[in-house]
Structure formats: structure tokens, C-alpha cells
DNA sequence: AATAATTTTTAGATTTGTCTAAATTTATTG
DNA sequence: CAATAAATTTAGACAAATCTAAAAATTATT
């Protein structure tokens, strides 16, 4: 089964939407892909003929087993390349997405295997998202964001939902990165802000907005 | 100036033909690209409109200054990736060409700069071909093949013209690689074969065919 | 120099992924 | 529940890169 880069992008987008939204629609997918709904319909027919999606006109669609597998290999490649770009080439995490979007479509599976080994078979990418293994298996961990974390327990930052450069800038300022150990001292009900303590730094207060985006393992 | 991967492949092919043949023709380029002459004509018109080639119908074509520059940046990327694949990921030199053909079209120039630094700014790729610098400048060296090298002078293998796996296999058997120091003891006029000596190994005889493909710096 | 052979170009068609505009189906709501 | 709104699909068109078949230009040959 060989797919064009465009097909792979659709497959990946469907995968992500299925995992973050409870209803995936033509319009939603078209917004995700920056195309028109009509183009999505065309592509769905094509993907159906390749047994990548289940699809009945007007009735919605979803990835087949095979489609799911394809999505995971693309995501695996994307995240391995992001890891490479950040940990070997020294990019910042907010700079790597677009480049990884291109690299993920390189076809050689030998390359992926070797890259994975070269990087030391990482389980998580620089944003803390899990990297599927070569069988498509995702190593999951229980995560809680700072707005939900139990108080006074030391936890380790594992991923960040919003991966914009603005967020990176803010986290750099607070000296928070993937792996940083911290605890939540207090949560203020008024505005949902939380006071956190990192190592020997003085406690700081971060907004609810930020807290909801920073995930930890306890 | 942004080009599609296909355009870049044509540009690269024209560059290589201009440097290895004294007359570049539509038919020759079509053979190189595995397309039909008619397709080449179409592409030449397109490249002319982008000021990549000088082209007059029936009169031939050649790269413009800008086309030349583009060719060199693509070649630079190709050879840096080959270096990465061999020296970091452990590929054999005969396995890397096709993967590098894909990687060379990744657009980020920031990526190229960082990759170059990560690799230690190599001047030559794993086949011994020079890697253009970020200004497109190629560091050339005087090379001579084993069929032309002066006798009894120690030289260093710098590149190999035929980059097939058969050639690699043969050179591995003779324990010859890029950087290997050797000297030519004798040349046999009858069949053009040469006797070479590598370090403390017993002298061996290699055929004219092989000798012509192995280049050295004295 | 005239004819034959070769090379190159044009004309028109095909595939992929996209579009707009119109038609159809499903959902909402008064 | 019927009419209106929203979502989805069809129909037909376009740009990129290719093709085949035929025409035109160049080059070679007799």
C-alpha cells in the first residue's frame, strides 16, 4: 500500500480529529486541511477505494484498520524527525513542525528504523507526545494537567498541549520544560490560577489557561 | 524562487549532463529523466519562463546563472544527506542514493545549515564527491584514477565514479574505501590492469575497468 | 542539392488534487 | 410537520506533469 503525501496528510488529519473530537465531519476535515468540503468528498472517495476509510455518502466516515496503521506510521515518522531536529540539530520545539511535515513523507522504512536506533528509540517527542513503535503501538502514560494535579505532590512535566512559540516563550520564562520536576502548592478557585514550585526557585503563579496546557506524570 | 521537486530534478539533471557531456540534447535529458522528449520540451518552456534555462526551440538549452545556483543548492542538500545517512545512520554508500533523492527536496534552508554544522561541515560526500558550500562554491581537488596515477607514489582514495553495489562489493573485498592509502606498483599494458599495494597487505592486481573508476589525490 | 533519417516540437488527452457553483440530503426550528 | 438552514455531494473546470501520435525543423546521406 503506497500513498501520496497528500493522502497521508488526509489520513493523519482524520486520525487526529477522531482522537480529539467526538464527531468528525467533512466540513471539519476541510478546515483542518485548508481545503473546500468538495475536495474532501473527492478524497474520501479515493481513500475508500483504497480501503483506508469506511465512507458512505452523507453518513460520515472513519479510518479502517489499515488506515489507522498508516496514520500511526506517518505519526511515528513525524515525531521521530521532530526529536531529531530538536535533540540533534538544536531547533526549538516551535520551529520543527513544518519541517517534520515534509520529512514524514520520506518513504524508506529502513531509514525510519535506523533513525529510531540512532536517536536511542525515544518514546516521546520534544512536545511530550508519544512516538508509536515500529508496530504502531503507542506507549501511553497517565497524565494530568496542572489544573487537575493533586496538591503538594512532585510531578514531572511530560507534555504541552499548545505548541505555539508564544507558549514556548512563556514556559522558557518560567523555566518549565519537558522533564522539569515541580509541584502545585495551591489552586485559586477565583480565577483557576495555580501556584507552583520548581526546585529552589521561589514559587510562581501561573494562569488557568497555561495550567490547562501543561501535563505531568506524578 | 521556489521550485517543485520535479523542476529541481530537471535542473539537477541538466547540471550533471552539462558537466559530463559536451552536448546536452532534449533526447539525452529525456533518457536521464526517464520521460519522453515531448515532456522535456514542455518542461524546458516552463523553466525558461522562470529564467532557469536559456532555451530556443530546436537550438538547445543551458542553465542560466540562477539555474546553476539552484542546481548547486540541490546537490549540496543531496550530498549532505548522503553523508548523514552513511556516517550517522550507518547505511552503505550504495543504499543512500534513492533516499537522498527524496531528502534533497526538503525546503528549509535553516535545516540545511544546521545539518551541515551537525555533520561538521564536510567537504566531500561518502562517494568522494565534493559538497558545495552554502554559497554554492565547490571545493575541488586534483584527482587521478588508478589507471593514470604515477607509479610508486602513495595516494589516498578520494572518490569512486561507479557507485553501484557491485563496485562497493568489489572494493570491500580489496579493502579499498574512501581515504584508503595505496600505491600503484606496476601497470600492465597488455590489458591495462594495475598492481596496487595497500599498507601491509600483499600486492593485488585489479582490472583496468576498476582502476578507471577509483580516483585518488596524491 | 535533394532526399532520407533523426531530433524536436506541437496538439490533444490523462491523472491528481484542487476549485466554484449548483443540486441534493440531512438537520433545525417555528 | 413543513419550510428553512446547514452540510454534503455532484458536475464541470483548471494547473502540473506526463503521455501518444503527428507535424515541423534540423542533420545526415547519397
pTM over cut 0.75: yes
| CA distance linking residue A199 with residue A202, whole number of Å | 8
Query: Given pLDDT bands bounded at 50, 70 and 90, which one contains residue B189?
Result: confident
Query: Given pLDDT bands bounded at 50, 70 and 90, which one contains residue B140?
Result: confident
| CB contact at 8 A, A142 and A151 | no
pLDDT confidence of residue A93? 83
Residues A85-105: pLDDT tens digits? 999 999 988 889 999 999 999
Confidence check: pLDDT of A1 > 80: no
| CB contact at 8 A, B184 and B116 | no
Residues A26-75: pLDDT tens digits? 999 999 999 999 999 999 999 999 999 999 999 999 999 999 999 999 99
| CA distance linking residue B61 with residue A9, whole number of Å | 38
pLDDT confidence of residue B126? 85
Say which nucleotide is closest to residue B41, CA to C1' distance. Answer: C9
Interface test with B, best of A103, A105, A109 (most B CBs within 10 A): A103
Residues B26-85: pLDDT tens digits? 999 999 999 999 999 999 999 999 999 999 999 999 999 999 999 999 999 999 999 999
Residue A194 phi/psi, 5-degree rounding, is -130, 145
A202: exposed, middle or buried (C-beta count within 10 Å: 0-12, 13-18, 19+)? exposed
* Residue predicted with more confidence, B146 or A114: A114
- Residues 6 or more apart whose CB falls under 8 angstroms from that of B2 comprise B107
Query: CA–C1' span, B29 to C4, in Å?
Result: 26
Chain A residue numbers with beta carbons less than 8 Å from the beta carbon of B114 are 89-91
Residue B121 Cβ under 7 A from any strand C atom:
no
For chain B, give the percent of residues with pLDDT over 90.
68
Query: Given pLDDT bands bounded at 50, 70 and 90, which one contains residue B188?
Result: confident
Query: Given pLDDT bands bounded at 50, 70 and 90, which one contains residue A218?
Result: confident
pLDDT confidence of residue B36? 96
| CB contact at 8 A, B70 and A65 | no
Confidence check: pLDDT of B103 > 90: yes
Say which nucleotide is closest to residue A44, CA to C1' distance. Answer: D9
pLDDT confidence of residue A198? 92
pLDDT confidence of residue B207? 92
* Residue predicted with more confidence, A1 or B162: B162
Confidence check: pLDDT of A126 > 90: no
Name the range with the highest mean pLDDT among A141-145, B117-121, B155-159, B209-213.
B117-121
Query: Given pLDDT bands bounded at 50, 70 and 90, which one contains residue A17?
Result: very high
Say which nucleotide is closest to residue B28, CA to C1' distance. Answer: C7
| Average pLDDT of the residues of chain A | 92
| CB contact at 8 A, A183 and A196 | yes
Query: CA–C1' span, A6 to D22, in Å?
Result: 36
Other CB atoms within a 10 A radius of the CB of residue B27 amount to 11
Strand partners, B156: B181, B217
Torsion of CA A6, A9, A15, A17, to 10 degrees: -110
Query: CA–C1' span, B159 to D7, in Å?
Result: 62
User: Among A147, A119, A180, which Cα is nearest to B84's?
Assistant: A119
Tell me the CA distances in angstroms from A3 to A56, A63, A109, A165, one per residue in order: 21, 15, 14, 32
Point out the residue among B98, B106, B114 whose CB comes nearest to the CB of A102: B106
For chain B, give the percent of residues with pLDDT over 70.
100
Confidence check: pLDDT of B8 > 80: yes
Residues A137-182: pLDDT tens digits? 998 877 888 888 888 988 889 888 888 888 888 989 999 988 899 9
CB-to-strand C under 7 Å, chain B 42-81: 42, 44-45, 55, 57-60
Beta strands in chain B (DSSP E): 53-56, 60-63, 144-145, 155-160, 181-187, 194-197, 204-206, 214-217
Name the range with the highest mean pLDDT among A120-124, A127-131, B138-142.
A120-124
Q: Which residue of A has its CA nearest to B117?
A: A89
Residue B22 phi/psi, 5-degree rounding, is -90, -15
Query: Given pLDDT bands bounded at 50, 70 and 90, which one contains residue B148?
Result: confident
Nine-digit cell at B161?
Answer: 565514479
Average pLDDT, integer, range A124-148: 88
Torsion of CA B201, B205, B209, B212, to 10 degrees: 60
| CA distance linking residue A43 with residue A11, whole number of Å | 10
Amino acid at each position: 500500500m503506497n500513498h501520496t503525501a497528500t493522502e497521508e496528510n488526509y489520513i493523519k488529519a482524520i486520525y487526529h480529529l477522531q482522537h480529539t473530537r467526538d464527531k468528525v465531519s467533512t466540513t471539519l476535515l476541510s478546515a483542518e486541511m485548508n481545503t473546500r468540503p468538495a475536495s474532501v468528498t473527492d478524497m474520501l472517495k479515493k481513500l475508500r477505494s483504497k480501503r483506508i476509510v469506511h465512507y458512505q455518502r452523507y453518513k460520515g466516515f472513519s479510518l479502517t484498520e489499515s488506515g489507522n496503521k498508516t496514520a500511526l506510521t506517518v505519526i511515528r515518522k513525524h515525531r521521530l524527525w521532530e526529536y531529531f531536529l530538536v535533540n540533534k540539530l538544536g531547533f526549538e520545539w516551535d520551529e520543527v513542525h513544518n519541517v517534520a511535515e515534509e520529512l514524514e513523507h520520506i518513504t524508506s522504512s529502513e531509514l525510519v528504523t535506523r533513525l529510531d536506533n540512532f536517536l536511542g528509540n525515544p518514546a516521546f517527542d520534544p512536545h511530550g507526545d508519544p512516538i508509536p513503535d515500529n508496530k504502531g503501538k503507542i506507549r501511553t502514560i497517565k497524565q494530568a494537567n496542572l489544573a487537575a494535579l493533586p496538591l503538594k505532590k512532585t510531578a514531572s512535566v511530560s507534555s504541552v498541549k499548545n505548541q505555539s512559540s508564544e507558549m514556548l516563550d512563556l514556559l522558557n520564562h518560567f523555566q518549565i520544560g519537558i522533564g522539569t520536576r515541580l509541584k502545585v502548592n495551591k489552586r485559586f478557585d477565583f480565577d483557576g490560577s495555580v501556584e507552583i514550585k520548581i526546585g529552589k526557585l521561589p514559587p510562581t503563579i501561573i494562569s488557568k489557561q497555561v495550567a490547562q496546557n501543561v501535563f505531568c506524570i506524578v
